[in-house]
Structure 1
Amino acid sequence: MSKFVRVAQTSQSLSLAAMEEASRLGLRTADIEHLFLALVINDQAAGRALRDVGIDLGTARSAVEAQHAAQLASLGIEASFPEAGRIVFHETDGYEWSKRASDLIARSAEKDKAGDAAAVLRELVAEPSGLIAVVLERLGTSPNALLEQLDAVDSSRRATAPATPAVSGRISGSTETFVPAPIEQVWDYLAEPTNVPQWQMSVGSIEHAEQDAAAGAVWTGLARERRPDGKLVKVKPEFRRRRIELVAAHRPDTIAWSFAYPDAPRSNAALAEFTLAPTNGGTQVSITTSWSRRPGWRRVVGLPLRPIQNFIVWITLFQIGGAISRAFR
C-alpha cells in the first residue's frame, strides 16, 4: 500500500469515528479528545496498543469527561456536562476538525513519518497541551508505557500481516474492523436479517424479516428511499428490489450474505463475508466483499475501469465496517 493511500484511509477512518463521537455530545467540531477515542476503536496497531494496556471505549470516554470536569473545577467553574446521546453524525452535517487536531494529523504524515494510526497516536501523546497525557494517567498508564506497547504491537503486526488473497474470476477486497463488543453479540447482530439495512447501504428495509435466520434462507429487500440525513435517493426501477440470502451462518465466527437484483438479470450478485475473532476489548471482524467479473469482451472493456472498481470496493468495505462498529457504540 502506498503512503498516499495509507494516509487517506487512516484520515478517513479516524475522521469518521472522531466526528461520530463528537456528535454524541451535540458538537460539530472534533478535537484531540475525540481523535483519542477514535484511536481506541481503531483496527490498526494504535488501537491494539491502547486496548492491550487496558483502555476500552467506555473507560476512555469516562476519563475524558472527568478531565474536562477537573479543568473547569480548577478555574472555579462548577458545571455538569449534558448526557451523551446516540451517534447522529450521519443524520446531520457541518462537522470539522479543530485546528490543533487537523495540524496534528498533518504532522503525522510528514515526509519522514508513516501517516498511519500509529503515527497519529505518537503525535497525540506528545501534543503540547498535555491533555491526552493526563487522560492516560487517569486510565492507569503513561505515554511512555503506551509507546512501548505500540512499538511491540507495530513490529509484531508488520511481521505477521497476511496478504489479501485474490479470488479467481471475482472482483474482491478485504478489510478488518474492530467492534467494541463480545464476539457472541457481534455474531448475533450480523446473523439477524432485520439488521441488514443498518450495514448494507443499498437496502432500506426487508420484507418478512420475522422469518427464521438459517443458512439458505432468502428475503426480499427494498432499496433505501432516503439517506440518513433525510435526502431522497433516486433508484432505477430494476434496482428497487434485492434478493438477500444468508449463505453461511456458523456460530460464533462466520457469516456470509449474498445480495442480487432479481429485476436486473445482467447484474452480478455481491457476496459479503464476515469472519469474527475475539480480541482485547471486543471483536476483530474481517470483512470480504466480492462479485463475479463479467466474462468475455465485457471483461476486457472493463479493464480501464479497474481503479474505479477498486475504489468502490474500498468504499463499500469502509461503510460496512463503520456501520457495524457504530451499532455497538
Structure 2
Amino acid sequence: MRTVGGTVPFPVPAEVAFDYLVEPANRPQWQSSLAAVEDVTGEVGVGQTWTDVTTPGLRPAMRTTSYDRPHQWSEDGTWKRVTAALDLTFAPTGAGCDVHFRFRITGPGPVRAIGLLASYASVLPVRADLRRAAAILGSRTT
C-alpha cells in the first residue's frame, strides 16, 4: 500500500499539537472538508469512533487505529468501499514540533487503480488543513 505525505511545522510543543489534532471535536475548526463530527464513541485513543460529516455530504465512519501520545496517531475512515487512512507523527523542534503526515486511499477494483492518484491529489488539502491547525494553535500562544 503506497502512501504519500509531507511535513508541517507547528509553533507549539508536540503534546499540544497532538492533543488538538487527535480530538474529533476539534476537527471542524481546522479540516476544511468537515461541516461537523457526530456520534463520537469512546475516549480519545485506539478504538474511538466517530462520523465525519463532510461539506460534500459524505459521511465516512472514522476510527482511531493507533495512539502513542505525543509521538504517533493514526485513523482510518470508510465510506462505501473506499478507505482513507491518515498517519501523523510528531517530532519536537526548537520552535515547537514538526507534524509528519502520510495519507492513502484504498479500495477494491477500480478504486485501487485510482487510489494512488487520489492520494497524491489529497496531499495539498491535507497539508493546508494541518497548516490551518498550526495557525490556530499559534494564535492561542501569542
TM over 0.5: yes
1:284 to 98, 101, 108: 98
1:84-233 equivalent positions in 2, closer than 5 A: 168=1, 170=2, 172-209=3-40, 211-224=42-55
Structure 2: stretches of 5+ with no match in the other structure: none
Partner of 1:89: none
Structure 1: stretches of 5+ with no match in the other structure: 1-167, 225-234
Q: Structure 1 residues 294 and 199, CA, compared in 2 at 3 Å: closer, same or farther?
A: farther
Higher relative contact order (CA 8 A, sep 6+): 2
1:321 to 102, 117, 130: 130
Higher helix share: 1
Q: CA RMSD in A?
A: 2.6
Given that 2:65 and 2:74 are in contact with CA atoms closer than 8 Å, whether structure 1 keeps it comes out as: yes
Q: Return the alpha-carbon distance in structure 1 between the equivalents of residues 6 and 39 of structure 2.
A: 31
Larger Rg: 1
| Count of residue pairs brought into register by the alignment | 138
Structure 1 length normalisation: TM-score? 0.38
Q: Return the alpha-carbon distance in structure 2 between the equivalents of residues 179 and 279 of structure 1.
A: 9
1:24-35 equivalent positions in 2, closer than 5 A: none
SS in 2 for 1:323: helix
Structure 2 length normalisation: TM-score? 0.81
Identical positions, percent: 22
Given that 1:248 and 1:257 are in contact with CA atoms closer than 8 Å, whether structure 2 keeps it comes out as: yes
1:294 Cα deviation after fit: 4.1
Higher strand share: 2
Given that 1:216 and 1:247 are in contact with CA atoms closer than 8 Å, whether structure 2 keeps it comes out as: yes
Q: Structure 1 residues 317 and 291, CA, compared in 2 at 3 Å: closer, same or farther?
A: same
Partner of 1:17: none
Q: Deviations over 1:30-55 (max 9, x none)?
A: xxxxxxxxxxxxxxxxxxxxxxxxxx
Q: Deviations over 1:290-318 (max 9, x none)?
A: 121543xx369749x94xx3651222332
Q: Letter of the 1:289 partner, please give it.
A: F
Q: Structure 1 residues 201 and 257, CA, compared in 2 at 3 Å: closer, same or farther?
A: farther
Q: Letter of the 1:328 partner, please give it.
A: L
Q: Return the alpha-carbon distance in structure 2 between the equivalents of residues 173 and 275 of structure 1.
A: 14
